[in-house]
Amino acid sequence: MAPISIRGLTKEYGNVLAVDNLNLEAVQGEILGFLGLNGAGKTTTIRILLDLLRPNSGNAFLLGHDCQTDGLRARANIGYLPGEMGIYSDLTGREVLDLLAGLNGHVIDKQRRRELQDRLEFPESDLRRRLREYSTGMKRKLGLIQAFQSDPLLLILDEPTEGLDPLMQESFYKLLVDAKQRGRTVFMSSHVLSEVERVCDRIALIRKGELVLLSSVEELRKLAARQVRVFFAEDVPVISVPGSEVIETGPRSWTLKIEGPLAPLLRTIATLPVRDLEIEEAKLEDVILKYYRDGTREIEREIEREIEQ
Amino acid sequence: MRRAALLLVYSLKRIRVLALTAGLLLAAFQLVLIFVAGSIQSSGGFDQLRALLPPFARELLGPSVAAFMSFSGIVCLGYFQLAVMGALIAIAVTLATTPASEVETGFMDLILARPLARHWVITRTIALTTLVSAFLLALMVAGTWTGLRMFAPKGVEWPSATLVNSLAVNLGMLALCWGGVAMAIGAASNRRSVAGGAAGLLALASFLLDYVGRLWQPAQSVAWLSPFRYYNPFDLITGSPLPYKNLVVLGGIAFAGFAAAYVLFARRDISH
């Protein structure tokens, strides 16, 4: 049973197609990053999963339960962090946590809450304060505590690190790793590509409501272009290297951008007087940004062609 | 059910200051009114006021004038004075539009992301509106009896308990009726100000319709559309029993509003 299963999901707002025939499945125990530009349909998809929005067609399932027809059971074991924490500002942090834990129907695990407080540096004194006195970062931390406090099987997090300082982001990443190690599934939307690259197992990229990429981070990294600099001991002529893009050439150095395997380059330079070779690590961002910009099936086909070669 | 009760408790907790302040102010208003009525009664002012009224006005207003221009009548004014009616209706409208406010702030996202069915949000809101309206009326009635004990001149006739209770019940049903209308609008709205404003404007238009209908014969044919037509405090003061038809009409409007709220809220998209 997939923790999240989305089948042919479509959502229209009047003439605007927010989500277009989306198919997606999360695997148990993985961290699935859900990427896309503003207005791509990420939040709409998350809101359909929570039955806040009703799709025009298609189905979505959480932990095997249909989000629309069996919503109560679907939401019985999830933790949700919304993009914006809309909470009663006249309640204290503790009251908010108690209320949301109570609405989940779970017994409040004070030890787990205290542990989360410690890890996110959220002291008891802050829990006693009213939310109107909270900063954006404090509200975000409170949001994370409420999402994680019942140790749910599935975590749905919308832009979780927005408003968190770098130290807290680190703590949050550790929370994610812990959750994953305990077999929990995390579905998180994010704009921060470096964060996604670091913590996610797989990436689903949505553009104009359409899923344009679903891949493991490892696979994607293989497809990313690497910058390679070759230094020669003496002057060499410029020779074209299959599968590479020339960025800069000099008499004793070449700078190339290579997508895919390095074998063609190595074959080409094998007979040349190579003094040194510098290979920059592939940046996932480059691939994702390409999808953001073009986002068509063409890119997929292009990459598939390169793999085949 | 337990989750809805928890939500109700938190909602009550949030508005406890508003409810208590409004209740005490309304109760204090009853005390002031009775103090003034006692002063007029002691100085024989009611006879002078009745004598000052021109004959045409006496004819227009009918026998209720005599009943109103008395100690008992002024005490009852606390249940149909415009500011009192306005305050009760405004509070009912504010509470009934709680779901719209929760959608607006995004709190609804957190509530409904839990295993809580949408109908419980509306049930909680109905309970909240009814409980607070009843609490305010109870404080008003308590204020009336406290005021009578403190300030009523000796020998003066007090309004009967039946009369005070009838006024309170009829006024409560009127407030609940507008709560129902506001709840139906609020269940489909993303903004409390829009829902509350629309309900408030409807209430004002209905009040004017009823007012014009009472003074101008041609308007009477449509005045029955106004819920205010079903609250006739002067009839009660002159000794008429509480007309259950009025309660049924007001309760019916409230019930229809609640039912519409359930349907609209269950079907809508929650987006802010």
Write out pLDDT tens, residues A116-151: 999 999 998 999 999 999 998 999 999 999 999 989
Predicted local distance difference test score (pLDDT) of residue A305: 57
The two tokens of residue A256 are: 């190339």
How does residue A249 score in pLDDT terms, banded at 50, 70 and 90?
A: confident
User: Each residue of A204-230: pLDDT tens digit?
Assistant: 999 888 998 888 888 877 777 788 999
Asked whether the predicted pLDDT for residue A289 surpasses 80, the reply is no
Q: CB distance B6–A103 less than 8 Å?
A: yes
The two tokens of residue A96 are: 């908010």
**Among all chains, which residue has been given the structure tokens 């893009």?**
A245
- Amino acid A271 reads T
Helices marked H in B78-188:
82-96, 98-105, 107-112, 118-151, 161-187
Residues of A in contact with B264 (CB under 8 A): none
Predicted local distance difference test score (pLDDT) of residue A294: 65
| Dihedral class, residue A160 (left if φ above 0, else alpha if ψ from -120 to 50, else beta) | alpha
Q: Which of B110, B120, B267, B272 to mutate to test the interface with A (most CBs of A within 10 A)?
A: B110
Q: Which of A138, A85, A88 is nearest to B10 (CA)?
A: A88
Contact pairs from chain A to chain B, CB under 8 Å: 84
Q: Which of B2, B11, B114, B118 to mutate to test the interface with A (most CBs of A within 10 A)?
A: B114
Residue B108 CB-half CA count within 13 A: 31
List chain B residues with pLDDT less than 50. none
Is the sign of the CA dihedral B124, B127, B130, B136 positive or negative? Answer: negative
ipTM score: 0.83
Three-class SS state of B270: coil
Predicted local distance difference test score (pLDDT) of residue B64: 66
Cα separations in angstroms, B206 against A11, B6, B194, B202: 40, 36, 18, 6
Identify whether the C-beta of residue B105 lies closer than 8 Å to the C-beta of residue B272.
yes
Predicted local distance difference test score (pLDDT) of residue B18: 93
Beta strand segments in A69-111, E: 78-81
Predicted local distance difference test score (pLDDT) of residue A12: 92
**Among all chains, which residue has been given the structure tokens 């006005």?**
B57
User: Each residue of A96-117: pLDDT tens digit?
Assistant: 999 999 988 877 788 899 999 9
Residues of B in contact with A84 (CB under 8 A): 106
What percent of chain A has a predicted confidence (pLDDT) above 90? 49
Q: How far apart are CA A15 and CA A303, in angstroms?
A: 33
How does residue A297 score in pLDDT terms, banded at 50, 70 and 90?
A: low
User: Each residue of A34-81: pLDDT tens digit?
Assistant: 988 888 899 999 999 999 999 999 999 999 999 999 999 999 999 999
Nearest CB to B271; choose among A53, A80, A105: A53
Predicted local distance difference test score (pLDDT) of residue B118: 95
Q: In the predicted model, what is the mean pLDDT of chain B?
A: 91
Predicted local distance difference test score (pLDDT) of residue A298: 53
Cα separations in angstroms, B203 against A208, B112, B196, B197: 44, 31, 10, 10
HEC profile of B158-217 = CCCHHHHHHHHHHHHHHHHHHHHHHHHHHHCCCCHHHHHHHHHHHHHHHHHHHHHHHHCH
User: What's the whole-model pTM score?
Assistant: 0.85
Predicted local distance difference test score (pLDDT) of residue A251: 83
Predicted local distance difference test score (pLDDT) of residue B142: 97
Q: Which of A215, A211, A295 is nearest to A23 (CA)?
A: A211
Strand A210-216 to A202-207 pairing: antiparallel
**Among all chains, which residue has been given the structure tokens 């679903």?**
A214
What percent of chain B has a predicted confidence (pLDDT) above 90? 70
Largest CA-CA distance found in chain A, in angstroms, rounded: 74
Please check whether residue A85 touches B, CB under 8 A: yes
Asked whether the predicted pLDDT for residue A306 surpasses 60, the reply is no
Q: In the predicted model, what is the mean pLDDT of chain A?
A: 87
Please check whether residue A102 touches B, CB under 8 A: yes
Q: Which residue has the higher pLDDT, A294 or B254?
A: B254
Residues 6 or more apart whose Cβ sits within 8 Å of residue A177: A199
Burial class (CB in 10 A: 0-12, 13-18, 19+), A189: buried
What percent of chain B has a predicted confidence (pLDDT) above 70? 96
Asked whether the predicted pLDDT for residue A275 surpasses 60, the reply is yes
